[in-house]
Amino acid sequence: MIYIIGGQTASGKTELALEFAQKIGAHIINGDAFQVYRRLDIGTAKASKEEQSLVPHHLIDIVDINEAFSIFEYQELARKIIDRLVAKNIPVVIVGGSGLYIRSVLFDYRFSPNSEADMARFEKMDNYRLHQYLASIDEISAEKIHFNNRRRVLRAIEIYLQTGLSKSALELEQSKQPYYPYTMVMVDWDKEQLDARILERIRLMFAQGLRSELAELLETFPSSSPGFRAIGYKEMIENANYSDEQLIDLINKNTIHYAKRQKTFFKNQFNISSFTKREEALEFLLDTFKGAL
């Protein structure tokens, strides 16, 4: 059984995870797409070094800001760690807000090894033609993916070019059953409360020196680095002339949008128990843990 703490940003995942993991002697695996980046500390709201020292952490601070990292690497690394811990009978807690990353670990998602596919001719096509092309090689996926969702249409085509199999055919081969048994929990705040927490946290980030964190990093890494696509950093990079207040507004807005997508994903893509209060979630996790012994 692995324990997962998911849900929205600023919902208190980190704190809950630390508390729970300490109580049961678990290791924590980060399930957040941007906490894998070293030195992106303030803006990704990582647990502090002191907090991290309380419980062994994995998949946090593992790549440099200018390195590409994707779900493919994440899945592989996470499974290795989980298998190792499970073999030693150490409980595993995954905490994070990147739902798809977590899904790829929990379920039978199979990613083909990266191979070169020449996408140049497709990138020139307009959305409509691109989608028509997809329909000619993979009707099922074409039906599922909206033609305006260019990124996904392109990816589906790329899969076909790389593997010779359509995206939908590959997915049909995969089991629908979870790869690992899991218990997942989230703290579901009222929208108003969560919004207030988000704003408060962004203010805190600025007070903690988010601006200078970025400035220092930009001395070493180009502003186009993958790590800088994280909310908080990208807004500062794109709007170098903004005042703190303007940036806080923008980052706040983007974070609220992000939080909404997270909620939709977690509620609809997982079997998840949601609680209004952190203490209730903790109690539920502890009960589940005891029951599993």
* Minimal distance, residue 199 CB to RNA, in Å: 12
Rank residues 113 and 291 by Cβ distance to RNA and give the closer one.
113
Rounded to a whole number of angstroms, the minimum distance from the CB of residue 41 to RNA is 10
CA 214 remoteness from chain centre = 21
Q: ∠ CA 60-61-62 to the nearest 5 degrees?
A: 95
Look up tokens 């507004």; give the residue: 249
Identify which of residues 94 and 159 has a Cβ nearer to RNA in the complex.
Answer: 159
Between 20 and 270, name the residue whose CB sits nearer to RNA. 270
Q: Give me the count of residues in the chain.
A: 293
CA distance 204 to 207: 5
In the complex, minimum distance from the CB of residue 25 to RNA, in angstroms, rounded to a whole number: 26
Question: How are the residues of the chain apportioned to helix, strand and coil, as percentages rounded to the nearest 5?
Answer: 55, 10, 35
CA–CA distance from 67 to each of 45, 186, 215, 228 (Å)? 20, 30, 18, 11
Work out how close the CB of 83 gets to RNA at its nearest, in angstroms, rounded to a whole number: 19
CB of 286 to RNA, least distance (A): 27
Q: Which is nearer to RNA, 115 or 241 (CB)?
A: 115
Closer CB to RNA, 167 or 278, in the complex:
167
Q: Helix (H, G, I), strand (E, B), or coil: what is residue 195? A: helix
Task: Return residues touching RNA (CB under 7 A).
Answer: 9, 32-35, 43-45, 69-73, 97-101, 104, 107, 109-114, 144, 146, 148-152, 154-155, 159, 167, 171, 174, 191, 226, 229-232, 234, 253-254, 256-258, 260-262, 264-265, 267-269
Of 161 and 286, nearer to RNA (C-beta) is: 161
Q: Virtual CA dihedral for 183, 189, 191, 193, nearest 10 degrees? A: -150
The one-character DSSP state at 180 is S
C-beta of residue 24 within 8 angstroms of C-beta of residue 56:
no
| CB of residue 291 to RNA, shortest distance in Å | 30
β-bridge partners, 178: 107
